[in-house]
Chain A
Amino acid sequence: MIHDNYLYVILGMGIVTYIPRWLPLVILSRRKLPEWFEQWLDLIPAAILSALILPILITTGDPRHLDLMRPEFLVAVPTLIFAVKTKSLAGTVMFGMFLFWLAGKFF
């Protein structure tokens, strides 16, 4: 059984989530983009991945505060080095998981 109320919430959330995913693909993918904009879009992944990951690693709590001693961050350092050295996604994920599991034994 589905509550009516929940159904509306889910539908509403679905629509407003889908629109930002859909619009740029439909509008931009068929257009010749100016060179500066292509270059800008080319820099977006590096910017967005860094902006996603760093606050997760070194901030915590609500309201958020800085914490450089989180296991997430301490494990991320060797994981980053491993990624640079090996260039292996599979290896890095396994390595990071192993270290985090190990860190869980000490924290």
Chain B
Amino acid sequence: MNSEEKTVDWTAIIKDGVVGAWPICLGYLAIGLAFGVIAQKAGFSPLEIGLMSLLVYAGSAQFIGISMLSAGAGIVPIIITTFTINLRHLLMSSSLSTFMRNLGTGKLSLFAYGVTDESFALNTVRFRRGDWDWRRALVLNHISNLAWIISTVAGGLGGRFIPAGAFGIDYALIAMFVCLLVFQLRGRLYVIVALIAGMLAVILSLILPGNSYIVITSVIAATLGIFLKRLKHFAGAEQKS
């Protein structure tokens, strides 16, 4: 342990991580309760729900996994589907790796566990703003995970007694994504890439089954963005972004 490690103020770090995670926790509460109710109806016990939220920790995959199970699907199709649905995290972890320099495998493994759409979006914005580090990101990831586990189990125990859509809570994550997308638009190139990605995603989502459009679209849009940047560069134009 070096001197830098010794002077780490964990109280401040945990506080920052917990405070930073609140929009995710709010959103997970809404979705987690809903998931718990559905899982319980499909014959999952609260213990099994908690175990799934702990070991899988991926909202959409868990929903689809449960519905496939109740439809009588076999274990292999469910696992293959889960893999395809969650392949998008490959891109997110790649992007996050640029902020997680020179860390040990243990820390990276602990962090990787908590990479979700939501934590990726929030951590990226905080890293870029400069008031963030891997410790705060790690706390944010695990607090979010805790919120997910608690909400899904609570949903399994008695979620049907909670009125759906109370206080507009179903919109928490959408509003968060809209805002975090705005924060990502730090120049004209980012706006163009986001517009291409958004429109292409809508078109492909209407054609392709599942959510494969997310990965395909993001790769195409970011690649086009690089070409646009090069084009501008070679044209000798002033680079603003």
Contact = CB atoms under 8 A, between A and B. Distances in A.
Contact of B45 (A1, A28, A66): A1
Contacts of A51: 197-198, 200-201, 213-214, 217-218, 221
Nearest to A57: B174
A54 B195 CA distance: 10
Interface residues of A, number: 77
Q: Is the interface of A mostly helix, strand, loop or mixed?
A: helix
A89 B102 CA distance: 30
Given A10-B51, A47-B194, A25 B112 contact: yes
Interface string A94-107: 01111111101000
A100 to B, nearest CB: 4
Contacts of A102: 168
Contact of B23 (A22, A43, A55, A93): A93
A41 B98 contact: yes
Nearest to B195: A50
A69 interface: no
B212 to A, nearest CB: 11
Contacts of B194: 46-47, 49-50
11 contacts: A29-B103, A39-B226, A41-B222, A46-B184, A47-B218, A51-B214, A84-B182, A87-B183, A93-B26, A100-B168, A104-B168
Interface of B: 22-23, 26, 44-45, 47-48, 51-52, 55-58, 61-62, 65, 69, 75, 78-80, 82-83, 86-98, 100-103, 105, 108-109, 111-113, 115, 117, 120-121, 124-125, 165, 167-172, 174-185, 189-191, 193-202, 205-206, 213-214, 217-218, 221-223, 225-226, 229
Interface of A: 1-3, 5-14, 16-18, 20-30, 33, 36, 38-59, 63-66, 72, 75-76, 79-80, 83-84, 87-90, 92-93, 95-102, 104
